[in-house]
Structure 1
Amino acid sequence: MTKSQLQPVVVGAGPAGVRAAQTLVAHGVRPVVLDEAPRAGGQIYRRPPAHFQRTAQTLYGFEAARAQAVHSAFDSLQSQIDYRPDSLVWNAQGGLLDVLHGPTQTTQSLPYQQLVVATGATDRVLPIPGWTLPGVYALGGAQVALKYQGCAIGQRVVFMGTGPLLYLVAYQYAKAGVEVAAVLDTACFSDQLAALPAMLTQPAVLAKGLYFVAWLRAHGVALHSGVRPLRVLGDGRVRAVVWHDGRQEHSLDCDAIGFGYALRSETQLVDLLGCRFAFAPQQRAHLPERDAAGRSSVAGVYLAGDGAGIMGAEAAEWAGERAALALLADHGVAVDTARAGLLEHKLQRLQTFRTGLERAFPFPVGWAAQAPDELVVCRCEHITAGELRRTVQATGADEMNRLKALSRVGMGRCQGRSCGVAAAEILAHATGKPVEQVGRLRGQAPIKPIPIHLVHASVEVQA
């Protein structure tokens, strides 16, 4: 196959997608780049609207230089790629991608032969009573408000959960002048101490995390570790959060909360493409299988970035480039094999650090046992933990898609993005099975909400 015959499509214009597109262009190939956002950069390097006044240093902090490098790289490609922003890929089948173009609210089917999927990640959520109150945001949502819209989610904010993002977002808010009432971390100091040797393999990254913690302490932000969030209080809006420190309950006044438990990969599109999945114990999730170069189990489909497994922005850049090199090599284009090997080596070395992070900020495996029956797990369909448990008891359901069919959990607008992790934990606890054995919610089209008349139109055309 000649370069002119290659028709690669890159889905996602975050760090992985940008570097994949850049690599393809460098080898004389013109890819189509589809991205949901109006401007490239992804979540981590999200670009504000044009004429936004805040500087890159203010927006991205230590990552300003890397963010600007990714943005500049993409800007330089614009005349050499077919770039389609505001474009949601909502279905994939038969060598076609169904794409919704936001500004026009029209959909079209785009054929592809080679596909790089770089769909990124979203927040991993474990709900507590009161989490549906106005003023409660996922950590990523709180960050989007600050980066993209230049506003805070409240005037007195509590951040809780665990993971590196917890401290980063708290730091960003405090730095922007917002009162951060407290950071409540479910991880214990002993977890972080035990993980230190592994995290020392990336000293610069570790140093940034330690700086965020030190800065918050120096500026009077209360940091609590080893906590268990209990409930959010409020009438019409958040007014306080209650947590337990292992000895007693505490209540803290606030008008907004940002919470989350690290990130989870966006895998719905990969699922529709027919890629094989396997359980990844380190990330406590079913993830698409791929080789060291990013090849999936489906010929012509390559995976890169956090959408295939949480590794961070720097690793996403390496993985995007490596996946593009694999695509080119698989179709007869000469590539630099030494560079490909170096990228794989970098990604492999980073695994030790990621293992350390998972140990430092462990998933709260006891959450399901402590979730009260009245807790709303699926807010789209208003399904409670008690309803899920009763469904299991009454029907013997022991697999996620069976539970979905019988209870409607995960059938709402979020398609299980917000409730899937929590529902799987409830099911595993209720059945006494390990979470890897209860399966995962299968991807369904449309993977995100689209106007219903467009679904009918697409079905008629494909029929």
Structure 2
Amino acid sequence: MTDRVVIVGAGPAGIRAAETLVAAGLRPIVVDEGARAGGQIYRRPPEGFLRPPEQLYGSEAGKAGALHATFDGLTARGAVDHLARSSVVAVADQVLHVLTPLGRREVPFDRLIVATGATDRLAPLPGWQAPGVFSLGATQIALKAQGVALGRRMVLAGSGPLLTLVAVQLIKAGAHVAAVLDTAPLRTQARGLGGLLARPRLAVRGLAMRARLGRLYHSGVRLDRVESDGDGPVALHWTTAGGAPRRTDCDMVGLGWHLRPDTQLAGLAGARFTYDERWAQWLPQSDLFGRAGAGLYLAGDGLRVLGADGAEILGRLAATACLQDMGRAAPDPAADLRRLARMRRFATGIATAFPWPAEMVRQTPDATIVCRCEGITAGALRAAVDHGGAEANRAKSLGRVGMGRCQGRFCQLAGAEIIAGHAGIPVAQVGRLRDQAPVRPAPIGAWAAAPDTD
């Protein structure tokens, strides 16, 4: 008998974790929401899709193809049990509760590797609740999965490498991008240069993409409001670094400030969190291998946002730790640990160069929607703080920010910033929303029916 290992997520981290475990003689279960493995960064289009990998993934086409082939090979020879199109909605007593296409299934485990990736980090601005305002991640997914541009004249705004990458991908695909608006001033971006040089080729590639945008790119801007009619956006109003007001016509707006680890499942599984001032968000605690508790291992962007290459490393390290803890032969982690140190230096440079716009968020006008799921304004959130105190879960109970479909994934960080600014306290003091099941919307019928049990 051997421990039963389950991996949640089949992106770069989950694939490399599965490969490492299989090489050691184990047969892990891999649960993934996608129909085909690859994760968000290497998301695969449907069968028969005509655009070649070079158009979908650009310079990363080779890496994407290698990862896809690796996992396809594992499943073809029955080395892993792959539960595709399946969402883990709860975890308790060493059992995952999974919604599959056939209904709810209970999957017991002895050891759990959580490789759930990351989601967009969003900041509210007046009018962003209009149809036609998307996250940068959603914009990229539509392009990769279906070859679709979500507008005829698009404005992308926010900060971080994803902003530039999505803009270049859209332009390369023939889409019309009217402007790329970065809230990080150039002088702030320059402060991160030392860390970015930890991966010089990647830094140069990013600068080349930036150069390709030319006059479309504007740094140090302030985003003022999305103007819209009944059909969606008609313009984005913004202010230049020099203080000049601008209005850019558009029918789509894409927003994003880098990424945030998707940590709800990790929290339910027992991970602890600490507030990271540099990244301005709550991050799970672990050792260098991703150990986050007894039998719990975190990997990929769900632990630290290091990009696809870093996710592969973290996936191998999590599987290595799992094997070590089982007393089985494990790969030598020395080379991966050296690469990980370089990835972390680069990530620190990213966080320094493209900071979360805390002051802009704190000054969000009262009439602005903060929680799009529940339609709660910044003013209502501030009123909840006045009534019940400046603590995230209390404000959620009284004001409903974070109580909707996304469970706070897209409003928690902005909500905490608004609470902190209103109360005059550090944002870490506001606290973190408690993780609750289901971590994804679950049909009552599927939950009430008797589950399949492994």
> Shorter-chain TM-score: which interval?
over 0.9
Q: Hey, what does 2:257 align to over in structure 1?
A: 261
Comparing 74-83 with 15-24, greater Cα deviation is found at: 74-83
Tell me which of 427, 436, 447 is aligned to 1:435: 427
1: CA distance, partners of 2:107 / 2:195: 44
What are the equivalent positions in structure 2 for 1:44-443 lying under 5 Å apart? Answer: 44-78=41-75, 79-101=78-100, 103-104=101-102, 106-217=103-214, 221-236=215-230, 237-246=232-241, 247-296=243-292, 298-336=293-331, 339-395=332-388, 397-443=389-435
Q: Give the match's secondary structure for 2:415.
A: helix
1:133, distance to aligned residue in structure 2 (A)? 1.0
Identity %: 49
Give the Cα–Cα distance (whole angstroms) in 1 for the partners of residues 16 and 432 of structure 2.
30
Distance in structure 1 (CA, Å) of the matches to 2:46 and 2:267: 32
| Greater mean alpha carbon deviation, residues 239-248 or residues 45-54 | 239-248
For each residue in 1:234-282, what CA deviation from the matched residue of structure 2 results, as whole angstroms up to 9, or x when unmatched? Answer: 1121110000114121101011111111101100001111211111222
In 2: Cα distance, 1:157 partner to 1:61 partner: 21
SS of alignment partner, residue 137 of structure 2? helix
Q: Count the aligned residue pairs.
A: 449
Give the letter for the 2:399 counterpart.
S
Q: TM-score, normalised by structure 2?
A: 0.97
Describe the superposition over 1:49-103 as per-residue Cα deviations: whole angstroms up to 9, x where unpaired: 01100011000001111111111111111121001100100000001100001x3
Q: Equivalents in 2 of 1:208, 1:74: separation in Å?
A: 28
Q: Which runs of 5+ in 1 are unaligned?
A: none
AA of the residue aligned to 1:196: L
Cα deviation, residue 368, structure 1: 2.9
The Cα of 1:461 is off from its aligned counterpart by 10
- What secondary structure, in the 3-state scheme, does the structure 2 residue paired with 1:260 have? strand
Does the Cα contact within 8 Å between 2:113 and 2:297 map onto a contact in 1? yes
Cα separation, 1, equivalents of 2:272 and 2:137: 28
Q: Deviations over 1:371-406 (max 9, x none)?
A: 1000000111111000011111122x2211111111
- Cα displacement (A) at 1:441: 1.0
1:410-462 deviation per Cα after TM superposition (whole angstroms, max 9, x unaligned):
1111111111111111111111111111111111100110102233347x999
Matched to 1:235, the amino acid is D
Matches of 2:164 and 2:158, distance apart in 1:
10
Paired residue type of 2:418: I
- The equivalent residue for 2:436 is 444
1:461–1:240: structure 2 CA closer, same or farther, 3 Å change rule?
A: same
Residues in 1 aligned to 2:150 and 2:381: alpha-carbon distance in whole angstroms: 31
| Residue aligned with 2:46, SS | coil
Tell me how far apart the structure 2 counterparts of residues 67 and 266 of structure 1 sit (CA, whole Å): 22
Given residue 123 of structure 1, which amino acid in structure 2 is its aligned partner?
A: D
Measured against aligned partners, the alpha-carbon deviations of 1:178-223 in whole angstroms (never above 9, x if no partner) come to 1110100000111122221221121111011011111222xxx511
Aligned-pair RMSD on alpha carbons?
Answer: 1.4
Map of 1:21-60 to 2, 5 A cutoff?
21-60=18-57
How far apart are the structure 1 equivalents of 2:387 and 2:194? Answer: 47
State how far apart, in whole Å, the 1-side matches of 2:180 and 2:403 are: 33
TM-score normalised over the length of structure 1:
0.95
Q: Match of 1:134, SS?
A: coil
**In structure 2, C-alpha distance between the alignment counterparts of 1:62 and 1:448, rounded to whole Å:** 33
Query: 2: CA distance between counterparts of 1:427 and 1:165?
Result: 27
Separation of aligned partners in 2, 1:52 and 1:455: 34
Q: Do the aligned residues in 1 keep the contact of 2:156 with 2:254 (CA within 8 Å)? A: yes
Code of the aligned partner of 2:374: E
**CA-to-aligned-CA distance 1:120-179 (integer Å, 9 cap, x gap):** 000001011111111111000000010001110001111000000000000000000011
Contact 2:124 2:361 in 1 (8 A): no
Gaps of 5+ in 2: none
Q: Answer whether contact 2:13 2:299 (CA < 8 A) is retained.
A: yes
Q: Distance in 2 between matches of 1:425 and 1:408?
A: 16
CA distance in 2, matches of 1:327, 1:355: 27
Distance change in 2, residues 1:25/1:461 (3 Å): closer
CA distance, structure 1, for counterparts of residue 427 and residue 337 of structure 2: 30
Q: 2:180 is aligned with what amino acid?
A: V
Residue 18 of structure 1 corresponds to which residue in structure 2?
15
Deviation of 1:20 after TM superposition, in Å, equals 0.1
Q: Between 188-197 and 250-259, report the one with greater CA deviation.
A: 188-197
